Amino acid sequence: MHLGYLVFVATASLVVSSEAAFVNSDAAGNALVSSDKAYTRFLRSAIATTEDSNKDEEEERAGTVAGGVIRDPAETKVWLNSLLEEGKSVEAVMAILGMNAQNAQNGWHQNWNAFNRYQRMKWEKDNNKKMPYAEFGRPNILIRTKEETKDNFLGWAMAGRSVENVRKFLGVSKFPAEQQHLHVNWRAFKAYEKFFQRHNDDMQKMYDDTQYAKFGGYDRSKADTTQAMLKWVVEGKSVDEIAEILKLDKLSGDALMNHQNYPAFQMYQHFSKEEHKRRVQSGYYNK
């Protein structure tokens, strides 16, 4: 009857709920988009997403805070070059930057990007060639560019290759734990580690959305559930009818609140109350 108003209410409600609950985070602006389209969008953007994970530009922009001196990126570049000319080892520069093996491994330190840059500079000077982004392949190990390496990330993640599996595949695990950051494939490994976490988070969000509720014999996305609840409010279905449709009519307490369909039931109650308020304000019941 007033579906346009309810769609507005639904959208506003979803925007608010996305602030409060992880499961709601993707639906607000896309209430009518199917999960299949969302999945396709995810696949198309996955490789582009990896560009956020471990940019070489971060090394170029790296500033440092060391020995009580704050250096901007340009000053850091000059300083690192002077350390290189002095023949400082990677371990010595790690100490100068106030780092240890642990934060060199996990990238938590504020000077991590500068340290990464020095490792690359030292390797290139010692080997008299540009450091490859990665070296891997079977049966033949091939030198890979950053783009070639990251092109593999989505395939590895979709195949379920864990971070530890890729650490081993890239040969990083052959080094002692405290020296793995010295491996030529360390940058690629850390990039995959970040990509894998983001991939899993995105897949979980997508799964949460497509498994939002189940009624009528089918799993329903949040978008589909929202459409159904709006339709039933307009049709005037009672709360008891909705509870029966959602298989909640015989449940109570924890069993009710922990049921997969309970959020959908709450959604219906909210939309129903909003429609009732609108009707009261418009004088609908006095006609």
Give the model confidence (pLDDT) of 255-269 as tens digits.
999 999 999 999 999
Give the residue-averaged pLDDT of 211-236. 91
Same domain for 197 and 264? no
Same domain for 180 and 65? yes
Question: In which element (H, E) is residue 94 found?
Answer: helix 90-96
Give the residue-averaged pLDDT of 46-65. 54
Alpha carbons 45 and 49: distance in angstroms, whole number: 6
- List pLDDT tens digits, range 164-199: 999 999 999 999 988 888 898 998 999 999 999 998
The one-letter code for the residue type at 1 is M
Instruction: Please compute, for residue 253, the number of CA atoms within 13 A of its CA located in the half-sphere on the CB side.
Output: 1
| Residue 125 CB partners (closer than 8 Å, separation 6+) | 84
Could you give phi then psi for residue 198, rounded to 5 degrees?
-65, -40
Same domain for 77 and 174? yes
Domain boundary, last residue among 158, 175, 205 = 205
Q: What is the pLDDT of residue 106?
A: 62
Same domain for 120 and 77? yes
Same domain for 126 and 24? no
pLDDT at 224 over 50: yes
**Which has the higher per-residue pLDDT, 272 or 203?**
272
Asked whether residue 44 is assigned to any structural domain, the reply reads: no
Same domain for 168 and 282? no
Domain boundary, last residue among 173, 205, 237 = 205
pLDDT at 48 over 60: no
Asked whether residue 48 is assigned to any structural domain, the reply reads: no
Asked whether residue 114 is assigned to any structural domain, the reply reads: yes
Environment class of 154 (CB within 10 Å of its CB; exposed 0-12, middle 13-18, buried 19+): middle
Domain hosting 184: range is: 56-205
Minimal CA–CA distance to 261: which of 216, 214, 229, 220? 214
Same domain for 126 and 234? no
Give the residue-averaged pLDDT of 11-21. 38
Q: What is the pLDDT of residue 55?
A: 46
pLDDT at 249 over 90: yes
Residue 132 preceded by cis peptide, ω within 30: no
- List pLDDT tens digits, range 97-151: 998 877 766 667 888 889 989 988 998 999 998 888 899 988 888 889 899 999 9
Asked whether residue 211 is assigned to any structural domain, the reply reads: no
Asked whether residue 164 is assigned to any structural domain, the reply reads: yes
Domain boundary, last residue among 158, 173, 205 = 205
Same domain for 281 and 154? no
Same domain for 175 and 240? no
Same domain for 201 and 61? yes
Same domain for 271 and 196? no
* Radius of gyration in angstroms for the set of CA atoms belonging to the chain, rounded to a whole number: 27
Minimal CA–CA distance to 185: which of 173, 201, 172? 172
Q: What is the share, in percent, of the chain residues with pLDDT greater than 90?
A: 44
Same domain for 98 and 193? yes
Q: What is the share, in percent, of the chain residues with pLDDT greater than 70?
A: 76
Minimal CA–CA distance to 263: which of 217, 211, 201? 211
pLDDT at 37 over 80: no
Asked whether residue 185 is assigned to any structural domain, the reply reads: yes
Q: What is the pLDDT of residue 46?
A: 39
pLDDT at 57 over 80: no
Q: What is the pLDDT of residue 112?
A: 84
What is the total count of domains within the chain? 2
Residue burial 223-261, b: 16+ Cβ < 10 Å; e: rest: bbbbbbbbebbeeebeeeebbebbebeebeeeeeeebbb
**Which has the higher per-residue pLDDT, 178 or 51?**
178
pLDDT bucket at 283, cuts 50 / 70 / 90: confident
Hey, is 86 helix, strand or coil? coil
pLDDT at 209 over 70: yes
Q: What is the pLDDT of residue 88?
A: 95
Asked whether residue 42 is assigned to any structural domain, the reply reads: no
Minimal CA–CA distance to 267: which of 63, 2, 3, 9? 9
Asked whether residue 51 is assigned to any structural domain, the reply reads: no
